[in-house]
Structure 1
Amino acid sequence: MASNRLLELGFTKYLEITGFVPSKVDASLFIKVSGALIMYVLVYVDDIIVTENQSVEVGVFVKSLDQQFSLKDLGKLHYFSSTSLFLNQRKYIKDLLKKCNIEPSKASSTPMVSTCNLSVPCGSPIDNDFDYRSIAGALQYIVITWPDIAFTVNKVCQFMHKPLD
């Protein structure tokens, strides 16, 4: 009965009931401090990252989450650094560059000229609009740790309905 009640309350409420406090600087980060134990839960859309300073309680906590919400544990992180508490998408970005066949590529201080005026009627339809949308979505995910590309990604996403060359 309590299990169904918690499910009705939602994930955020479950975290609060189990002792987590929402971060004041990031609405998707929850923190639990219990004695020497500090546990973090970071939520992004349908992904959850759980980490702690003692690596003892994560398994127990993930099991309790699974009992309440039916999770799929993907194991250790592959696209994030776990040595300190910051997100590092280097591998994710390198894999994206490889997927787009633009590796190696040179860095640019400005990914796009801010005065560029793009318009809908200019250009020809691209061959594979699915790839365009997939790459645009991947770039939106990268904006989390690379906010300096947000302007460019926003421009790219404005043309997702009918991408042109």
Structure 2
Amino acid sequence: MEQDQQMDRDQTNEPSRPHETHDMDETSKNNDEIKTNEGEEAQAKKRPTRTWTQPSRFKDFVIQVPLLVTHPTSTSNKVTSTEYLPEEKQAIDSKWVYKIKLRQNGEVEKYKAHLVTKGFNQMERVDYHDTFALVTKLVTVRSLLEITVKMDWIIHQLDVNNAFLHGDLDEEVYMKIPQGFSIDNETRVCRLRKSLYGLKQASRNWYHKFTTFLRSLNFRQSKADHSLFIYEVGSIMVVVLIYVDGVIITGNNLTKIQETKKQLDYEFSIKDLDPLKYFLGIEVAKTRDGLVLSQRKYTLEILKNSEKLGCKPSAFPIEKGLKLDKGETDPQKNHLEAVNRVLGYLKATPGQVRTPISWRTKKQSVVSRSSAEAEYRAMSSTVSEII
């Protein structure tokens, strides 16, 4: 009886035959594959498209590029930034400008492509009003460098990336569709909301945008040179000097300087060049005794661009007693000879260190009766400039 009970238990718990187990595994595997494929297809259909987020520093930009080429994924209700040109308006043209940007040592830093408008087609009081933009005076640059040496301040240099693109346009400006984006018989145009390189008001709009932001950071604008901004709270002092897209920042507090850099980078996207080395054609080298200024690189660039690197050196920039007429519409041979004489003088003095903060050569309109009177006139002009 015990054997019969054991046989009954074995029959009850008897596993499936080997060939039956194999068939079930294959069937289950096929079913899993079918479910997986169906799941992938369903997931692919439900998978959301990648969303593009605009960087925070471009929050003022409206980037809506029109799709002029038909793509499988394009939709008919795509929002674009193009409009049809009003009858009383004209659309200016544009072109692509390619440039190789070099580092200070002459190495290639990057290749740049700019979309530049042909601003010479703009009409005054129609699509632009003011074109005036302030630039810093060279005497201000030299005076500031002199102060940094005497006070032993930190002095750094910044460069604003694509500076003119930050300017806001108040005027109603239209531009033709850029080359490479237009189609045949195109009737649409671009309505510009932000500045582009080449517009007559681009530099002024950028200057206004940048200076307004500096004032919001509690910088005070100098009345002697409107490109000079000063932050002074207690013992902390930071000075910012701007020239188009180049910026010099100096002061006695590194923490405040770094904070100002971060604020400017967040708002405009800047390139921190750290210690000042080259600004407005002036090479700046820091030594134990101070700063050494040189325009050798700038001078050689002038000679290279004018193809006068091999010209004969000249000891004087202009011949004594030389008289030149205005020649505004018809320059004469003597004008060209005078220019070549100046280039020859530069060839003779490429590494000359020009240390004075300010100097001037000018024909006096009034003849002084004595040397003492001439000295007083010179002193008066100097004091006026310093004030």
In structure 1, what is the Cα distance between the partners aligned to 2:298 and 2:271?
24
Q: Paired residue for 1:90, among 293, 309, 313?
A: 293
Q: Paired residue for 1:117, among 306, 309, 324?
A: 324
Alignment of 1:148 onto 2:351: no
Give 5+ residue unaligned stretches, structure 1: 127-131, 136-141, 152-165
Q: Paired residue for 1:29, among 225, 228, 233?
A: 228
Shift of 1:150: 9.4
Report the AA paired with residue 122 of structure 1: Q
The alignment's TM-score, normalised by the length of structure 1, stands at: 0.56
Shift of 1:82: 7.5
Write out per-residue CA displacement over residues 66-122 of structure 1, whole angstroms, 9 at most, x where no aligned residue: 100111112210134779xxxx7822x1223344358x986x6xx546963153442
In structure 2, what is the Cα distance between the partners aligned to 1:149 and 1:81?
28
Shift of 1:53: 1.3
In structure 2, what is the Cα distance between the partners aligned to 1:28 and 1:82?
24
Alignment of 1:48 onto 2:247: yes
In structure 1, what is the Cα distance between the partners aligned to 2:322 and 2:333?
19
Q: Relative to 1, partners in 2 of residues 1:81 and 1:52: Cα closer, same or farther, differing over 3 Å?
A: farther
Q: Relative to 1, partners in 2 of residues 1:122 and 1:69: Cα closer, same or farther, differing over 3 Å?
A: same
Q: Paired residue for 1:62, among 261, 265, 274?
A: 261
Q: Relative to 1, partners in 2 of residues 1:149 and 1:89: Cα closer, same or farther, differing over 3 Å?
A: farther
Q: Percent identity?
A: 28
Aligned partner of residue 49 in structure 1, secondary structure: strand
In structure 1, what is the Cα distance between the partners aligned to 2:276 and 2:231?
20
In structure 2, what is the Cα distance between the partners aligned to 1:73 and 1:59?
10
Aligned partner of residue 72 in structure 1, secondary structure: strand
More strand by share: 2
Matched residue, 2:215: 16
Q: Relative to 1, partners in 2 of residues 1:45 and 1:66: Cα closer, same or farther, differing over 3 Å?
A: same
Aligned partner of residue 25 in structure 1, secondary structure: coil
Higher relative contact order (CA 8 A, sep 6+): 2
Judge conservation of contact 2:231–2:238 (CA < 8 Å) in 1.
yes
> In the comparison of the two structures, how many residue pairs are matched?
125
Judge conservation of contact 2:285–2:293 (CA < 8 Å) in 1.
no
Report the AA paired with residue 117 of structure 1: L
Q: Paired residue for 2:273, among 62, 65, 74?
A: 74
Shift of 1:43: 0.5
Q: Relative to 1, partners in 2 of residues 1:105 and 1:40: Cα closer, same or farther, differing over 3 Å?
A: farther
Shift of 1:35: 1.4
In structure 2, what is the Cα distance between the partners aligned to 1:81 and 1:37?
26
Pairwise CA RMSD of aligned residues?
A: 4.2
Shift of 1:63: 1.2
